[in-house]
Amino acid sequence: MSRTLTGRRTAAALFTAALLVPLATACGSDDDKGGENDAGTKGGGQKVKLTVLAAASLTDVFKTAGTAYEEEHHGTKVTFSFAGSQELAAQVRQGAPADALVTADTTTMEGLRGDTGTPTVIARNRLVIAVGEGNPHKIGGLKDLADDKLKVVLAAPEVPVGRYSKQVLDAQKVDVKPVSQEPNVRAVLSKVELGEADAGLVYATDAGSATDKVDPVTIPDAQNAIASYPAAALKQSRHADAAAAFVTWLSGPEAQKILRDAGFQKP
């Protein structure tokens, strides 16, 4: 074989190898990004971004819970979208990209049976009357809300807290004419915080998150309603294992302590 031919073959081999080096490097880069498993556990794997649709009353506590989860599951980033449960249900039906759902009532979750995995109740809550700091109108209970001189705000009847409110008011035969009906519990709380309403029915945990601006008036257990918070992975999730892992974690000791510390009751 001539030296010229051998030289050409050697040059061709070197040229081919040069082309393959960037490709191999690129593949290695992808592996570095995607080496973690779908559950986002330690040990190196694909990084997972979970989107969780959650009831507005979970806004504060889930921010804390999300941070705790990410610290424990280094491969997972959790993003929350908070709204009234009825709005979240509409998003699920419209195919919004999300991985898990937590509502403030079982009714809404049951209406999405074909879109979710098996739901698990992770916490409970109950209603209080939120009033201005110091309770300037001396509101003592549900019957006081019938006073026409009071500006009372409630959540809309299609919102879980609005349904609970109607339930307790109807049971006590209290006729309230709200000055507005809000899309979620945080909007009700905001009206009282800003002084735009004298009172509003909210969850105990929401009133507890604004103790510098509102005071809670306790509603006796016999007159109250218990709110249940079911959580479920969504069938449309692109990260089924990670979504299921997060839902399971919510029932575990760490998440349950976070929920208890925020005033939520045991499931």
Indicate the burial class of 168 (C-beta count within 10 angstroms; 0-12, 13-18, 19 or more): middle
For residues 177-195, average pLDDT: 97
136-161: per-residue pLDDT in tens?
999 999 999 999 999 999 999 999 99
Multiple choice CATH, 125-226, 3.50.30.40, 3.30.70.1070, 3.40.190.10, 3.30.360.10: 3.40.190.10
pLDDT at 156: 97
Q: Containing H/E element for 220?
A: none
Of 53, 64, 49, the residue nearest 229 (C-alpha):
53
CATH number of 48-123+229-261: 3.40.190.10
pLDDT at 25: 35
pLDDT at 79: 98
pLDDT at 234: 98
Non-local (6+) Cβ contacts of 85 within 8 A are 55, 103, 104, 105, 108, 159, 160
Non-local (6+) Cβ contacts of 39 within 8 A are 48, 73, 75, 76, 241, 242, 245
Q: Is the pLDDT of residue 78 over 60?
A: yes
pLDDT band at 3 (very low <50, low <70, confident <90, very high): very low
- CB contact at 8 A, 58 and 227: no
Look up residue 14 and give its amino acid. L
pLDDT at 129: 98
Quickly list DSSP for 230-259: EEEEBTT-S-HHHHHHHHHHHTSHHHHHHH
What is the pairing mode between strands 76-83 and 120-132? unpaired
Of 236, 255, 238, the residue nearest 246 (C-alpha):
255
30-65: per-residue pLDDT in tens?
333 333 345 544 444 568 999 999 999 999 999 999
For residues 154-169, average pLDDT: 97
What count of Cα atoms within 13 Å lies in the side-chain half-sphere of residue 171?
Answer: 14
pLDDT band at 215 (very low <50, low <70, confident <90, very high): very high
